[in-house]
A = this chain, B = another copy of it.
Amino acid sequence: MEITTLDALKTFRLESVINQDAITRTITLLGTFPSTSSERREQGIVRIEQRPLRFDDEDDAGMEIFERIRKAETVLANDIYFTLEAWLSDSDSNSAANLMISVICPATDVHIRKYTAQPLRLLTESPSTYTSITLPYILSVPPSRTQWITALLSPPPPPSSPHTTSPTAASHPPEELLISKPEYVVLPDMKWDTHNADELYLLCIARDGGRLRTLRDLKYKDVKWLEEMRAEVGRVVKGRWGLGRGEVRMYVHYQPSYYHFHVHIVNANHASGHMGMRVGQAHLLEDVIELLKLDAHLPPTSDPIMHRLSFTFGLGREHGLFDALVGVQEGEGGSTQMPGCNE
């Protein structure tokens, strides 16, 4: 049958939804259409893709949309932050809102910088630029940036004095810790509701953040706790959310957004964290452990493996390391030399 009209489309009889992807905004349906040559209906696949709103023309991009909105409802109004749901046409007004509109007013320069698109550039940090540029930068970051981690890792108050606990003292009250060991804690990421296992998102935070700032600080001796952590997380994730081995993905960012070593733990099929999973930003924990194990086979006089390698990552123009690392890359000219441990 030729499916070229709306009427033809409407002869579809649904059997099952075989795919649904929130990222690409598609749904794929399996069902049947009437056959032109026989009595029996024929199997058909229908894939429906929601098209992005058109914002082609910078001049009236946003304005044109406001003109098309028929209805808006406040979801949140908190200080300078406002959220509204909006419907693009009357005929849709009984269904879910088409748009979610967030407003910040008045907006500061910090807000503007945060929300402005930052083109990435891939930059390479050799062991020597790590020492001369990145490490001093890390040491210059004010400790207040990781204050929330310090609060989290401090021992909970003794149970006999509940009134000394301020409910707002830490972003994560201690009872949310899923695992607490001498070397690390594991807790739900703030972005996750802790219920929907499809979107499972946990964070493992090393206790010794003074020593372990990034993966550059990992050594062979850390393999032990990393492997134990992986097994512990496996047990908790199986027990509480029913996810088996191979159903979680663990990775480390380099550069990370804060310099206190931590591991992201997400459902292996979780799509929404996809930008943070890109090569050039993320390193699979398994791969990191494999590298650390190589240390045992390198000449004993060598630097630890994580001090021998160059790392390449995407950085936005607003990142504190951007200018310095671009300077090194531009200055160094053509391709790197072989053989190299970049020393």
A positions within 8 Å CB-CB of B: 1-6, 9-10, 12, 14, 16-23, 25, 27-31, 33, 42-55, 58, 60-63, 65-66, 68-72, 74, 77, 82, 84, 86, 88-92, 95-107, 111-112, 115-117, 119-124, 220, 223-224, 227-228, 230-231, 245-249, 251, 268-269, 271, 274-275, 277-280, 282-284, 286-287, 290, 293-294, 296-299, 302, 305, 308-312, 314, 326, 329-330, 334-336, 338-341
What is the CA–CA distance of A6 and B193 in the complex, to the nearest angstrom?
30
Contact of A293 among B68, B88, B339 (CB under 8 A): B339
| A96-B51 in contact given A19-B115, A61-B17 (Cβ < 8 Å) | yes
Residues of chain B with a CB closer than 8 A to A46's CB: 62, 101-103
CB of A312 within 8 A of CB of B334, answer no
What is the CA–CA distance of A25 and B24 in the complex, to the nearest angstrom?
9
CB of A227 within 8 A of CB of B335, answer yes
CB of B294 within 8 A of CB of A294, answer yes
What's the nearest-Cβ distance from chain B to residue A320, in Å?
17
Residues of chain B with a CB closer than 8 A to A293's CB: 338-341
CB of B53 within 8 A of CB of A116, answer no
Residues of chain B with a CB closer than 8 A to A245's CB: 329-330
Residues of chain B with a CB closer than 8 A to A66's CB: 9-10, 12
What's the nearest-Cβ distance from chain B to residue A192, in Å?
18
What's the nearest-Cβ distance from chain B to residue A250, in Å?
9
- The residue in chain B whose Cβ has the minimal distance to the Cβ of A21 is B117
Contact of A62 among B17, B49, B98, B119 (CB under 8 A): B17
CB of A88 within 8 A of CB of B99, answer no
- The residue in chain B whose Cβ has the minimal distance to the Cβ of A55 is B27
CB of A246 within 8 A of CB of B334, answer no
